[in-house]
Homo-oligomer: A and B are copies of this chain.
Amino acid sequence: MATQSEPHRVVVVGGGFGGLRVVKALRGQDVQVTLIDRRNFHLFQPLTYQVATGALSPSDVTYPLRALFGSAPNVTVLLAAVIDFDLEQRRVRLAPDRVPGAPESVPYDTLVVATGSSYSYFGHDDWRRYAGEVKSLESAVAVRSRVLEALERAEASTEVADRRAELTFVVVGGGPTGVEIAGQIGELTRDTMTRDFRRISGEDTRILLVEMTDRVLGGFPPGLSARAQRSLQRLGVTPTLGREVVAIDGDGVTLKGPGGDAERIVTRTVIWAAGVRASGLAARLGELSGAEVDRSGRVTVGPDLSLPGHPEVIALGDMVRVGDGQGGVQDLPGVAPVAIQQGVYAAKAVRRRLAGQPVKPFHYVNKGNLATIGRGRAVADLGFLRLSGLPAWLIWLAVHIWYLIGYQNRLVVMFRWSFSFLSRGRTQGSRIISDPEDAAAAQINPSG
């Protein structure tokens, strides 16, 4: 417990939705907060997929962490990778750095771990080499280059089979991210092909959305899934249901149908939006505390989000499962609203515990599920109300702009979307092919 002279030290690992909320809620309080992240910016993950098709630019969906907390004297931002914890000594261990005198570990009184998840290839890590992702900023930019290059190569090619392979796009995973990215590729190819290209057309394009179950958006009511599927089809996307991916290589994808029959799809662009795996730090917390770790690498925390036996260690977001206090777990989706509510809860729990007040268990309030398919097309399940089409899209729009961090980002994104909507996609967007070779050549090597 902190004394009057030495404020309570809260260390927050991870500047995603959860971690950021914790720090925001503790800003200006009588605690000393250190936010540790290996990147210098918060990434607005729900819109990262829009970077992958050039609808938004990287700076629209990112916000420098220092700019967020520059005016808060009790908050320190530390750019470092956390590699381990010492729960006994209450220290967070950092990856070794070349900076002389930089700390190797950081002490805490309360630790909040919120390092999220990454995509899992179900044991097929070699698929990662061939598939694109829209999880990190860099991966989304790489997908953008890949999709635009496929169009360029199709335009340049004179062989029908080759052109067809270039114009085949396979998205794996029919959840919100898969639906969003497939819909956006549909819009991109439809908009640009009719306008910007001379030899390729929308008819040559195939966009497959591969989903293991029998419908997309499994977390939504069946009626909304059906509407989403119709919207996707109108954008040129073929929902390919009941199919499992059994191989991804440099030449395409092999699917297995419900009857066990294999189907080969020749394509140059595969985007992976299927299962996720929790950050490795979740399993490490489980190992150190004896808490359960599930198949997806998530550690089970108590109903107050704390690690068993360690009330001073909180973990949250999609790297944890929350226990119900009776040996079971709450079934929470791995989405931003859960992380946000858990972050707000964690900050409150820290303050109440410091004040010697009891802490009630975490309770998630589901305000509704949203998924967008394209301009003017979305589905919304608000519980009491189910919407699709333009009304759902307007709600999606308002929610995403509202939660977008930073006033300037909100205005620029609102501006870009209005522009795009009014001009029916006739905007340049941010359709830049980054050249990894140029980027590598431009890398400065100060250490020789």
Hey, which bits of chain A sit against chain B, CB under 8 A?
A: 39-41, 57-60, 62-64, 66-68, 70-71, 76-80, 97-103, 129-133, 136-139, 141-143, 146, 148, 152-153, 156-159, 162, 192, 195-198, 249-251, 268-269, 406, 408-409, 411-412, 415-416, 419, 427-436, 438-448
**A268 contacts B141, CB within 8 Å?**
no
Are B64 and A432 within 8 A (Cβ)?
A: yes
On whether A448 and B196 interact (CB within 8 A), knowing A100-B158, A431-B64, the answer reads no
Contact check, A162 vs B408: say whether CB atoms are below 8 A apart. Answer: no
Q: Could you list 17 examples of A-B contacts with CB < 8 Å?
A: A58-B430, A59-B430, A59-B432, A67-B427, A67-B428, A70-B196, A79-B156, A99-B162, A102-B157, A103-B156, A129-B444, A130-B445, A138-B434, A138-B438, A143-B444, A146-B444, A436-B443
A66-B196, A71-B195, A148-B40 as given contacts; A443 in contact with B142, CB under 8 Å:
yes
CB-nearest residue of chain B to A427: B408
Q: Is the CB of A162 within 8 A of B100?
A: yes
Q: Are B432 and A58 in contact (CB-based, < 8 A)?
A: yes
Determine if B440 and A102 form an interchain contact, defined as CB atoms under 8 angstroms apart: no
Please indicate the chain B residues that have their CB under 8 angstroms from the CB of A129 in the complex: 444-445
Which of B146, B198, B415, B431 meets A76, CB within 8 Å? B198
This chain's copy number in the assembly = 2
Q: Known: A152-B40, A408-B419, A432-B62. Is A195-B70 also a contact (CB below 8 A)?
A: yes
Q: In the complex, are the beta carbons of A67 and B431 less than 8 A apart?
A: yes
Known: A40-B432, A58-B58, A97-B156. 16 other contacts (CB 8 A): A40-B152, A40-B431, A57-B59, A59-B430, A62-B430, A64-B429, A70-B196, A99-B153, A101-B158, A102-B157, A132-B444, A137-B434, A143-B444, A250-B445, A412-B416, A439-B439
The 7 residue pairs across chains A and B that have the minimum distance between CB atoms: A101-B158, A57-B59, A250-B448, A66-B196, A59-B430, A142-B442, A138-B438
Q: Which of B63, B142, B196, B448 lies in contact with A67, CB distance below 8 A?
A: B196
Instruction: Please indicate the chain B residues that have their CB under 8 angstroms from the CB of A62 in the complex.
Output: 430, 432
B446–A130 contact, CB under 8 A? yes
| A66→B192 contact, CB < 8 A | yes
A196 to B431, CA, bound (A): 32
Residues of B within 8 A of A158 (CB): 100-102
**When chains A and B are docked, how far (Å) is the Cα of A97 from the Cα of B132?**
22
Q: Which residues of B contact A432 (CB under 8 A)?
A: 40-41, 58-59, 62, 64, 137
B442 touches A439 (CB 8 A): no
Alpha-carbon gap, A139 to B438, bound state (A): 8
Please name all residues of chain B whose beta carbon is closer than 8 Å to the beta carbon of A98 when the two chains form the complex.
Answer: 153
The winner among A143, A195, A430 for most chain B CB atoms within 10 A is: A430
Closest B residue to A67 by beta carbon equals B428
Give every chain B residue within 8 A of A436 (Cβ-Cβ): 439-440, 443
Contact assessment for B439 and A79 in the assembled complex, using a CB-CB cutoff below 8 Å: no
**Inside 8 A of A443's CB, which chain B residues have their CB?**
142, 436
Kindly state the separation between the CA atoms of A429 and B62 in the bound complex, as whole angstroms: 10
Bound complex: CA A249 to CA B136 (Å)? 33
A440 touching B440 by the CB < 8 A rule?
A: yes
Max chain B Cβ within 10 angstroms of own Cβ: one of A59, A419, A434, A435:
A59
Bound complex: CA A409 to CA B416 (Å): 10
- Set of chain B residues within 8 Å of A156, measured between Cβ atoms: 78-80, 97, 99, 101-103
In contact, B442 and A139 (Cβ under 8 angstroms): yes
The residue of chain B having its C-beta at the shortest distance from the C-beta of A271 within the complex is: B444
* A35 CA / B131 CA spacing, docked (Å): 32
**Partner of A157 from B101, B146, B195 at Cβ < 8 Å:** B101
Chain B residues contacting A435 (CB-CB under 8 Å) are: 39, 138
Evaluate contact between A439 and B141: CB separation under 8 angstroms. yes
Known: A59-B430, A442-B141. A448 touches B76 (CB 8 A): no
Minimal beta-carbon separation of A165 from chain B (angstroms): 10
Bound CA span A441–B198, Å: 33
